[in-house]
Amino acid sequence: MTRSKAITYDNLALRAPAFVNDVDRVVARDVRALGFPAETSKPLSPMFQPFRLRGLTLENRVVVSPMCQYSAQDGLPNDWHLVHYGSRAIGGAGLMFTEMTDVSKDARISPGCAGMYEDAHEAAWKRIVEFVHAQSQTKFCLQLGHAGRKGATKLMWEGIDEPLEEGAWPIVSASPLPYFPHSAVPRAMSRADMDEVTADYVAATRRADRAGFDMVEMHAAHGYLLASFISPLTNRRTDDYGGSPENRMRFPLEVFRAMRAAWPDEKPMSVRISATDWADGGLTGDDAVEVARAFADAGCDLIDVSTGQTVADSEPVFGRMFQTPFSDQIRNEAGLATMCVGAITTADQVNTIIAAGRADLVALARPHLMDPYFTLKAAAWYGAPAIHCPPQYLAGKDQIFRNSVRDREELRDLRLKAKPKGHRDTWKEAAE
Ligand SMILES: Cc1cc2nc3c(=O)[nH]c(=O)nc-3n(C[C@H](O)[C@H](O)[C@H](O)COP(=O)(O)O)c2cc1C
């Protein structure tokens, strides 16, 4: 499959259906080689092929990306979170991430951020996990984080990354550099601070297991605490934790290894990284390959490839699927499983990315806010009837699957009518 953004899986399926069938067969054959009973004569489209991470099997390749809800009180998730995660799980994604959930009170980004540092938090998350597991096939990953120098800031809709005017708490980072010139100046972490934060991550990881989560992710992206160590733009330390790439990775790897030791062997772990800082002197895609390798060597099963948000004056190059090239680079240069994210809005793009081997999983954030049923609807369009749907909603599933067959036939007929004289249908015919 091409990496051109202009030629997608669906475009090709209209112009060269036999070629796309061949691609589907190749993807299905690879999935079969992993031990799944994937049908290769009439294969599913790539986004509906299963995937395995350690002992965890995902029903498909669509992921609900982590999204802060800024709706917790004192770290405690509530009914908003139950409805939010419950409905997205029912919508059929193979994997769903929680929002960045903080490992201590002072690790929060904002007063509305969820936590995993008290018994009540563990119990509240357990209730949500149990709902997700009882009502869906979606697997559930807890994203654990520490805000670092971006902590003690306002709720997103009151001013993202803007420092709290009242009720702020002390913040720490790799170096004493404020995010904005008007942000609070963080304290550079001492070794004792590092021990405390590591212990908080471990305690939260144990709570995640007790609450029944299938997977945990360590958040080391977007300029938060662990990311602040990795990027040379935010780490100006002169001790063993600053300077060379190895030194800058030392603390994030210590935390990761401690979490890995506390997390059951059969359950997978991921790390979210910022693969580029989009700023002069910052991390680049080549650096990200090394960062990813280091986490993989420490037992990370999936690299969640995001970018940026490290420094306030970065200059990201936005566009559809704009972060996918970094996932592509890490997956294909380091040979690691990756998840891509960022301005991916259609099932067509998901199929294109998986078929082209640019990521193993594809996460969507904002599209899932407006459409929890993104995956179920795509299953109807691409004909993946085995997707789980709760019995309460089966009548709706039957209808959309029936209508999608008709809609696809209409689209094909329109295309046949529009076909110019002498047009050859498939790339194979054209080649002959
Ligand atoms: C409301 C909102 C909250 C977010 N919160 C988090 C978060 O808690 N952790 C995280 O790693 N990324 C967070 N993100 C980033 C998303 O996971 C995702 O990487 C980003 O939105 C790009 O994907 P999209 O184009 O599909 O929205 C958030 C994004 C949004 C829109």
Indicate the pLDDT class of residue 1, thresholds 50, 70 and 90.
Answer: confident
- Mean pLDDT of the region 405-429: 71
Is ligand 1 within 6 A of the CB of residue 272?
A: yes
- Mean pLDDT of the region 273-293: 98
- The two structure tokens encoding residue 79: 């009914």
- Mean pLDDT of the region 130-156: 98
From 224, 241, 373, 382, active-site residue: 224
Give the per-residue pLDDT at 420: 62
Give the per-residue pLDDT at 418: 75
Distance (angstroms) between ligand 1 centre and the Cα of 279 equals 20
Query: How large a percentage of the chain has pLDDT more than 70?
Result: 97
Give the per-residue pLDDT at 357: 96
- Mean pLDDT of the region 401-415: 90
Is ligand 1 within 6 A of the CB of residue 160?
A: no
Q: Which atom in ligand 1 lies closest to the alpha carbon of residue 272? A: 11
Examine the residue annotation and report whether 224 is marked as an active-site residue of this protein: yes
Mean of the per-residue pLDDT values for the chain? 95
Q: Which atom in ligand 1 lies closest to the alpha carbon of residue 219? A: 11
In terms of DSSP H, where are the helices of 100-190?
Answer: 119-135, 156-159
Where do we find the tokens 């357990």?
Answer: 126
* Tens digit of each residue's pLDDT (9 = 90 or more) over 221-262: 999 999 999 999 999 999 999 999 999 999 999 999 999 999
Ligand 1 atom 21: the closest Cα is on which residue?
365
Give the per-residue pLDDT at 430: 39
Give the per-residue pLDDT at 414: 83
C-alpha 348/C-alpha 382 separation (Å) is 10
- The alpha carbon dihedral of 309, 299, 62, 352 has a sign of positive
- The alpha carbon dihedral of 386, 391, 392, 398 has a sign of positive
Distance (angstroms) between ligand 1 centre and the Cα of 65 equals 6
Ligand 1 atom 11: the closest Cα is on which residue?
66
Is ligand 1 within 6 A of the CB of residue 219?
A: yes
For strand 95-102 and strand 139-145, is the pairing parallel, antiparallel, or unpaired? parallel
Give the per-residue pLDDT at 72: 98
- Our measurement of the distance from residue 384's CA atom to the centroid of its chain's CA atoms, rounded to an integer in Å, reads 23
The answer on pLDDT for 419 being more than 70 is no
Give the per-residue pLDDT at 253: 98
C-alpha 104/C-alpha 378 separation (Å) is 39
For strand 139-145 and strand 338-341, is the pairing parallel, antiparallel, or unpaired? unpaired
C-alpha 212/C-alpha 129 separation (Å) is 6
C-alpha 354/C-alpha 58 separation (Å) is 14
Distance (angstroms) between ligand 1 centre and the Cα of 115 equals 17
Give the per-residue pLDDT at 191: 98
Is ligand 1 within 6 A of the CB of residue 220?
A: no
Which of 62, 63, 64, 65 for mutating ligand 1's site (highest number of atoms within 8 Å of CB)? 65
Give the per-residue pLDDT at 14: 86
Ligand 1 atom 18: the closest Cα is on which residue?
365
Inter-residue contact 323 to 342 (CB < 8 Å): yes
* Tens digit of each residue's pLDDT (9 = 90 or more) over 184-210: 999 999 999 999 999 999 999 999 999
- The two structure tokens encoding residue 131: 């709902």
- Mean pLDDT of the region 104-121: 98
Distance (angstroms) between ligand 1 centre and the Cα of 119 equals 27
Instruction: For the chain, give the longest Cα–Cα distance.
Output: 75
Q: Which atom in ligand 1 lies closest to the alpha carbon of residue 366? A: 27
Other beta carbons within 10 angstroms of residue 209's beta carbon come to 15
C-alpha 284/C-alpha 291 separation (Å) is 10
* Tens digit of each residue's pLDDT (9 = 90 or more) over 298-329: 999 999 999 999 999 999 999 999 999 999 99
Indicate the pLDDT class of residue 411, thresholds 50, 70 and 90.
Answer: confident
| Lowest pLDDT segment from 8-17, 71-80, 196-205, 270-279 | 8-17
* Tens digit of each residue's pLDDT (9 = 90 or more) over 27-66: 999 999 999 988 889 999 999 999 999 999 999 999 999 9
- Mean pLDDT of the region 342-358: 97
Q: Which residue has the higher pLDDT, 79 or 429?
A: 79
Rounded to two decimals, what is the model's pTM? Answer: 0.95
Ligand 1 atom 4: the closest Cα is on which residue?
67
Indicate the pLDDT class of residue 427, thresholds 50, 70 and 90.
Answer: very low
Give the per-residue pLDDT at 66: 98
Indicate the pLDDT class of residue 124, thresholds 50, 70 and 90.
Answer: very high
- Counting other chains too, the contacts that 48-52 makes at CB distance below 8 Å and 24 or more residues apart are 48/379, 48/382, 48/384, 48/387, 49/354, 50/94, 51/94, 51/360, 51/361
* Tens digit of each residue's pLDDT (9 = 90 or more) over 367-403: 999 999 999 999 999 999 999 999 999 999 999 999 9
Ligand 1 atom 12: the closest Cα is on which residue?
66
Q: Which atom in ligand 1 lies closest to the alpha carbon of residue 364? A: 26
Ligand 1 atom 22: the closest Cα is on which residue?
342
Indicate the pLDDT class of residue 151, thresholds 50, 70 and 90.
Answer: very high
C-alpha 76/C-alpha 110 separation (Å) is 13
Give the per-residue pLDDT at 424: 54
